[in-house]
Amino acid sequence: MKISGILFLVSSVFTKKLQFAPSGPFHEKCQAGSYPEKRVLWRPKSAEINLDLAPIERWSELAKTYSKELHAAVNDVVVLADKIDAKIVPFVREKLPELAETLPQNYVDEMSSLSQGAGLPFGDIVLFNIFYEAFSACTSVVAKNGSGGVHHARNMDFGLFLGFDFKNMTWSLTEALRPSLIHLDFLKNGELQFSSASFIGYVGIFTAVKKQKFSLTINERFNIDGGWVGILEWILGKHSANWLGFLTRDLFEKCDDFRCAQDLLKTAEMVSPVYFVLASGERPLGEIIVRDREDVSQTVKIGEESDPSKSSSWFLLQTNYDPSQEPPFFDDRRHPALKCISELSSENASGENFITKEALFDVLSTKPSLNMLTVYTSLIDIQEGSIESFVRECPFPCTPW
């Protein structure tokens, strides 16, 4: 999209948002009875990834089966990257041999498996995987469930400022990614290790659960020292940082408890700043880890706040702004979500607040938590080790983000 088009979109949206009170078209009453069909387009297909296979073989079958969806999503990323800067795609392709040498070999092999299976250039698969370091915008919630544990849920919003279609009022990349959503079960020795909600062609982790151990969702952190800075540093030779998706895959393959996951997410140097939203399957624990690329900026845990209407009391809520700061007026998904969590929660016999998964789905089905960028909603059951995912639609009028 041309810069002038982006500025027009931003200015028009900002103006409209200033005109509307919370009862306007971009805000609404908290949804009720949404689960499992309201504002849902479809449920994703499922596949298994056999970790006993060599990395070069793991994704071949999936790539062949879903070649059409993978081609469409990767092509859209390549086209949009080219629109951002015509030098990005040629540069990645030119630097690919030396770039691939610096990435973890197992993930290089897995991306090669996708490339060969789908008949796509290896460089485009690499670009598709690293592109996620820069353009997501999400909402994650961890909340007590009334049974001694927690629910974990998220909206994945993706494609901000990437090809807005004014005719159809949609984001191009968001539309391309919806058909590529897939539920993945990762197996070893024939047994389930962990599950994730992912996109066909992406080898990393953004939404995942390890049964009775922990769950994790990732939210982008908007920061001037952001993803593109880390990517450029990597290309120019600084290789001490971890790529987000590769780190989180490692975490689910190596960690068997909440503490191990905490430690890894707090100590690893990152290519991109990020919010890690982590929940425990052993106790009603949840934590938001606010990461700079090199250090932890802040942590927020369940139980730190006494006011039950606020995040870090009996629940956690994270969008794309630091918990210690107010969100900007043009992207305030936090306060409408807080309002709905408060309205839709319940109290048990001992006076403790909790929320059902159905009510949590209602929270994430209410505008502006649900918006034009929302690709999917996931509800995670840590005890069962399951993820329910739903490809979403936001009925017009709907906020662009």
Q: Say if CB 376 and CB 42 are below 8 A apart.
A: no
Which is the catalytic residue, given 30, 138, 255, 340? 138
Of 262, 271, 274, 269, nearest to 322 by C-alpha is 274
Q: Say if CB 139 and CB 337 are below 8 A apart.
A: yes
Domains annotated on the chain, with CATH: 3-44+136-392 (3.60.60.10), 50-131 (no CATH)
How many angstroms separate the CA atoms of 348 and 174, rounded?
39
Q: What is the pLDDT of residues 52-98, one digit of tens each?
A: 999 999 999 999 999 999 998 888 887 777 776 677 677 777 776 67
Does the pLDDT at position 223 exceed 80? no
What was the pLDDT predicted at 120? Answer: 93
Give 355 or 127, the one with higher predicted confidence.
Answer: 355
Question: Can you tell me which residue has the tokens 């989180």?
Answer: 248
SS (H, E, C) 217-264: EEEECCCCCCHHHHHHHHHCCCCCCECHHHHHHHHHHHCCCHHHHHHH
What was the pLDDT predicted at 155? Answer: 98
pTM of the model: 0.91
Does the pLDDT at position 22 exceed 60? no
Q: What is the pLDDT of residues 323-347, one digit of tens each?
A: 999 999 999 999 999 999 999 999 9
What was the pLDDT predicted at 136? Answer: 62
How many angstroms separate the CA atoms of 65 and 138, rounded?
29
Phi/psi-derived region of residue 126, left when phi > 0, alpha when psi is between -120 and 50, beta in every other case:
alpha
What was the pLDDT predicted at 23? Answer: 55
Of 231, 228, 247, nearest to 239 by C-alpha is 231
What was the pLDDT predicted at 148? Answer: 94
What was the pLDDT predicted at 247? Answer: 96
Of 122, 321, 134, 136, nearest to 230 by C-alpha is 134
Q: What is the pLDDT of residues 188-197, one digit of tens each?
A: 999 999 999 9
Q: What is the pLDDT of residues 229-275, one digit of tens each?
A: 777 777 777 788 899 999 999 999 999 999 999 999 999 999 889 99
Q: Say if CB 289 and CB 322 are below 8 A apart.
A: no
What was the pLDDT predicted at 179? Answer: 94
Binned at pLDDT 50, 70 and 90, residue 175 comes out as: confident
Catalytic-residue membership of 398 = no
Cis omega (within 30 of 0) on the bond before 90?
Answer: no
What was the pLDDT predicted at 350? Answer: 86
Written as six digits, the tokens of 287 are: 């934590």
Does the pLDDT at position 26 exceed 80? no
